[in-house]
Amino acid sequence: MSRLRITEIFYSLQGETRTVGLPTVFIRLTGCPLRCGYCDTAYAFQGGEWMDVEDILKKVASFEPRYVTVTGGEPLAQKPCIELLQRLCDEGYEVSLETSGALDVSQVDQRVSKVIDIKTPGSLEVAKNRFENLNYLLSHDQIKFVICSRADYDWSKHILNQYQLSSKCDVLFSPSFQQQSPGELADWIINDRLPVRLQIQLHKFLWGDAPGR
């Protein structure tokens, strides 16, 4: 029976992506091979509790959700994550996966909305980007750039154009919390007429950095 190391399973409002504001069950897997400078879930790097996939599904079902997000850490660092995503889809949930894009996404169930976080230079992990993952984008997937500075913005704009990302799926530009002004980023997007969505982390404004929210 497949097992995964789980940091937490909780019910909250989605703070990001296309379903922002909607009640969602979050499954946070433990462990991550990256160390981004702005990481807000370092508590998920270690520890956690081993859970069978069946027990994870029972816990999720207890919340009677429509939306489920598998996140981390880096969820794909645990191979049974692929099975978990498939099982969640089989249960009829609308499932999203939050991944750094540093690991192969080719085996992710096509029913899942992949939210791939392309690492900007300001993340300190830009070298980890696996751009071949862009070959597996589907129209219901999403690409996210966390913007730490004007340099990050210009870099992200270049990647947006180089790979014609806006023609493949939704693209999100998110200001790094308390590092990049959301208003300034909004002005840049408007002035350049970029085909992207400004994303502000709703949960940070509601609850700050509290884990499990």
Q: At residue 161, does pLDDT exceed 80?
A: yes
Peptide bond into 21 cis (omega under 30): no
Task: Assess if residue 25 is contained within a domain.
Answer: yes
Task: Assess if residue 213 is contained within a domain.
Answer: no
Determine if residue 134 is left, alpha or beta; phi over 0 gives left, psi from -120 to 50 gives alpha, anything else beta. alpha
User: What's the domain range around 68?
Assistant: 3-207
81 in Cβ contact with 29 (< 8 Å): yes
Higher pLDDT, 79 or 203: 79
Tell me what the pLDDT averaged over the chain comes to: 95
This prediction's pTM: 0.93
Q: At residue 210, does pLDDT exceed 80?
A: no
Task: Assess if residue 27 is contained within a domain.
Answer: yes
Note the pLDDT tens digit of each residue in 171-198. Answer: 999 999 889 999 999 999 999 999 999 9
Q: Residue 97's closest CA among 183, 17, 10? A: 17
* pLDDT at residue 205 in the model: 72
For position 145, which CATH number holds? Answer: 3.20.20.70
Task: Assess if residue 212 is contained within a domain.
Answer: no
**Count of structural domains within the chain:** 1
* pLDDT at residue 213 in the model: 64
How many Cα atoms are found within 13 Å in the side-chain-facing hemisphere of 83? 12
* pLDDT at residue 211 in the model: 63
* pLDDT at residue 40 in the model: 86
